[in-house]
Amino acid sequence: MSEEHSSESGQDQPLPRRSLRAAAREGPRDVAVTPKPPQTVVVSVKPKVTPCAACLRRKEHDRKEQAEREAAVVRRKAKAEKRRERFERRAAERKREGRLPDGARFDVTYSDERVEWSGTLTLADGTVFAGRAPGVMKLLHQLDALYRQSLLPSGSGR
């Protein structure tokens, strides 16, 4: 790149090249700067590609599967929360109910004719609760419930 300047004769003559050090020592020169012509920028535009029918079906299928997976996660979390609440509620009920009093006794008998269990819960103070049920555990729970009901103030039920 050479610089040009006008001489006294009016002709443009090229200036000698200078090193950076020499240019710094000598100082700036008045040089006419000609603007560069504007550059053209070539932008390549990719044509819009329309996916084929199979690709569209696959994309829709994948979207539905993802939605189903997300819904399953939400259902599992809701189910776990419900299970935890039920466990806490039952634990609170068991804690509130407590144990039978000291000296309480269950007497149960199975009747083959009636195909059921019958029995009594006798407390140490002589109070007796009687009941019948198709299973021994149901009978024991029924007798326990009768005892718990007797503890409630009269007029209120469970």
**Is the per-residue pLDDT at 13 higher than 50?**
yes
Task: Identify whether 18 is part of a domain.
Answer: no
Q: Which two tokens stand for residue 45?
A: 């535009």
Q: Facing residues of 139 across strands? A: none
Range(s) of the domain holding residue 56: 50-98
Tell me which of 19 and 38 has the higher pLDDT: 38
Domain co-membership, 111 together with 130: yes
88 and 109 fall within a common domain: no
Query: In angstroms, rounded to a whole number, what is the distance separating the alpha carbons of residues 43 and 64?
Result: 38
State the CB neighbour count (10 A cutoff) for residue 104. 17
Q: Kindly state the tokens that stand for 15.
A: 């200036």
User: Nearest CA to 130 among 112, 109, 151, 114?
Assistant: 109
Residue 110 sits in the same domain as residue 72: no
How many Å apart are CA 65 and CA 67, to the nearest integer?
5
> Average pLDDT, stretch 113-126?
94
**122 and 92 inside one domain:** no
What Rg do the C-alpha atoms of the chain give, in angstroms? 49
Assess whether pLDDT exceeds 60 at residue 10. Answer: no
Residue 45 falls inside a structural domain: no
Span 25-66, pLDDT tens digits: 776 666 666 777 777 777 777 778 888 999 999 999 999 999
* The pTM of the whole model exceeds 0.85: no
pLDDT tens by residue, 78-115: 999 999 999 998 888 776 667 888 999 999 999 999 99
Residues 94 and 113 in one domain: no
Please indicate, yes or no, whether residues 115 and 93 belong to a single structural domain of this protein: no
Q: How many domains does the chain have?
A: 2
Residue 75 placed within a domain: yes
Strand 12-14, strand 4-6: pairing: antiparallel
**Phi-psi region for residue 27, left (φ > 0), alpha (ψ -120 to 50) or beta?**
left
Burial of 67 (0-12, 13-18, 19+ CB in 10 A): exposed
pLDDT band at 158 (very low <50, low <70, confident <90, very high): very low
Instruction: Specify whether the CB–CB gap between 129 and 121 falls below 8 A.
Output: yes
**pLDDT value for 3:** 47
Residue 120 pLDDT more than 80? yes
pLDDT value, residue 2: 46
